[in-house]
Structure 1
């Protein structure tokens, strides 16, 4: 991997009770975050292939870390998402390059399929900037019970020449979903929509 990683952070969010109701099994979301050096910081770079390659490598690393944090087999993953925050020495297009669709192929291996697009978010920010990593079902975008997000934040990042890259994975949808739509047991997983 060409990425110069300063820090890795992995967090798990587990909901056991919602509105006084027990959630059994609990709903769990994991976010794996890498703080990396931005090789394009401080200058205009026409071809962002280096960042695209770094994103591809991080898709595997962070996807595997998130799945491992949940303690599940890859095929048991339900949702995924990705996000990046670029420090002030970079530009928004650097986040777009990191989150390029090439990040998705190794992430899909880490979660055992993934017919749907990987939802993403990107922004510029300084130390401690937070970003909501959007989540959607990995095989069917129309599964409303899995429309969600998890916040990613690293207190000392991104520094001016860094990028914070986050990949999130869940083992379920939201607690107590009840807004209808396609159900998990109805997923065909062919076109990424249904």
Structure 2
């Protein structure tokens, strides 16, 4: 891989009890992270980010996808998915965005899990131990609120000033005891045409 990876991390979280009630189906959330050297570090303002994107994004997408699937067991098992990046304080938020907002990164994951929805995302800047927030949504149904989830974690020594944390997240299942319905119910009650794609985005 043409990028310098300092470390990778795998986070697995199982929720067995929520609201004092045992979950009928436990929720498993998985995060795969890579701490990499910022490919644009020390170069000042870089106008064309594409060479760095092409060098780094495909390999990161492939690596992190494999880490997720090794835990999930298969792409079919993944129900919710998302991505995130945190750039160190010497970098631009655009550097974090560049590595995750490209099909060269996301398509590895999207195709591996057979998804239709766009990947929920977060891109921020911070110092070591900054929160890594990975929002999730249903991989095939953007209106399925049960799978609106967020994985939150941090890496004690990352990102360094000239590093970027790049992450993928997954859920097997949705929120235990979810009971707020889906977006379609609201749209129908508000008089919108649920079959109209434009209405779904309202």
Scaled by the length of structure 2, the TM-score of the pair is: 0.85
Q: Which has the larger radius of gyration?
A: 2
| Alignment partner, residue 153 of structure 1 | 154
- TM-aligned CA distance change 1:56 to 1:100, over 3 Å: farther
Deviation at 1:150, TM superposition (A): 0.3
| Alignment partner, residue 39 of structure 1 | 39
What is the correspondence of 1:1-194 to structure 2 with a 5 Å cutoff?
1-42=1-42, 43-53=44-54, 54-70=56-72, 72-102=73-103, 103-111=105-113, 113-181=114-182
Q: Give the Cα–Cα distance (whole angstroms) in 2 for the partners of residues 125 and 38 of structure 1.
A: 13
Measured against aligned partners, the alpha-carbon deviations of 1:147-180 in whole angstroms (never above 9, x if no partner) come to 1100131110011110011110111111111111
Deviates more, 1:134-143 or 1:59-68: 59-68
Q: Give the Cα–Cα distance (whole angstroms) in 1 for the partners of residues 176 and 53 of structure 2.
A: 35
Q: Give the Cα–Cα distance (whole angstroms) in 1 for the partners of residues 38 and 6 of structure 2.
A: 11
| Alignment partner, residue 186 of structure 1 | none
Deviation at 1:91, TM superposition (A): 0.5
Q: Give the Cα–Cα distance (whole angstroms) in 2 for the partners of residues 14 and 135 of structure 1.
A: 15
The CA RMSD measured in Å over matched residues stands at 1.8
Q: Give the Cα–Cα distance (whole angstroms) in 1 for the partners of residues 3 and 112 of structure 2.
A: 19
Q: Give the Cα–Cα distance (whole angstroms) in 1 for the partners of residues 29 and 20 of structure 2.
A: 20
Scaled by the length of structure 1, the TM-score of the pair is: 0.88
CA contact (8 A) 1:31 1:152 kept: no
CA contact (8 A) 1:152 1:166 kept: no
The alignment covers a number of residue pairs equal to 184
Deviation at 1:182, TM superposition (A): 6.5
- TM-aligned CA distance change 1:128 to 1:62, over 3 Å: same
Q: Give the Cα–Cα distance (whole angstroms) in 2 for the partners of residues 51 and 139 of structure 1.
A: 30
Q: Give the Cα–Cα distance (whole angstroms) in 2 for the partners of residues 51 and 176 of structure 1.
A: 43
Runs of 4+ in 1 over 2 A off after TM superposition: 50-53
Q: Give the Cα–Cα distance (whole angstroms) in 1 for the partners of residues 27 and 69 of structure 2.
A: 14
Q: Give the Cα–Cα distance (whole angstroms) in 1 for the partners of residues 76 and 161 of structure 2.
A: 38
Q: Give the Cα–Cα distance (whole angstroms) in 2 for the partners of residues 74 and 7 of structure 1.
A: 24
